[in-house]
Amino acid sequence: MIYATGLGRSFKAAAASLFLLAAGAANAQDATPEHLAAARAAIAAIGATNQFDNILPQAAYALKGEMIQKDPNLEALITSTVDNEVLALAARRADLEKEAALVYAKVFSEADLKAIAEFYATETGKKLIKEGPIATRGLIDAANIWQAGIGRDLAANVAAKVKAAAPADPAPAEGAVDPAAAPEAPKQ
């Protein structure tokens, strides 16, 4: 069966972005400032990095929980210290945008990136981003129903054709025991 959630598209995009980041960002270092600007505009238009916005807050929440559990009497100190460090690290979010621009510049031409940004700035592009996950869920539901029907019909069609083509009373295979000729098991 095909399974997905509303976040499925985002996770796929994230995985693809991370793969491309690792695979090709170094070669995009030669991109012109205009090409990188087009990449940043496309990234902003499609919200390519929005899915990563919660990484730092989630890490902070988990760290607070872990540290407070170990030393509950320092809860206020731990909370304020983690919060201050989060604020200090928040500026590093720009590093992700820079790397994402390098990735997109590696994969797409400057003209492609401009076209992507232009499309996603339109009402239709915005609607695709907003409503796309709903359409994807509907498509996945339809594909699951279709898959079940295809599997059912395939099995029924093959069974009917095999039954029609098979000999009416096949002889047992050599060495096979005929269940009608086998002695009954003793009753206990």
Q: Is 100:14 a contact under the CB 8 Å cutoff?
A: no
Q: If you count them, how many residues does the chain have?
A: 188
As a whole number of angstroms, the distance between CA 36 and CA 26 comes to 13
Q: Which residue has the higher pLDDT, 124 or 181?
A: 124
Lowest mean pLDDT among 25-34, 93-102, 153-162: 25-34
For tokens 């890490």, the residue is 59
Give the per-residue pLDDT at 30. Answer: 79
Give the per-residue pLDDT at 176. Answer: 63
Predicted TM-score of the model (pTM): 0.59
Give the per-residue pLDDT at 174. Answer: 72
Q: Is 34:101 a contact under the CB 8 Å cutoff?
A: no
Give the per-residue pLDDT at 7. Answer: 42
Q: Is 149:3 a contact under the CB 8 Å cutoff?
A: no
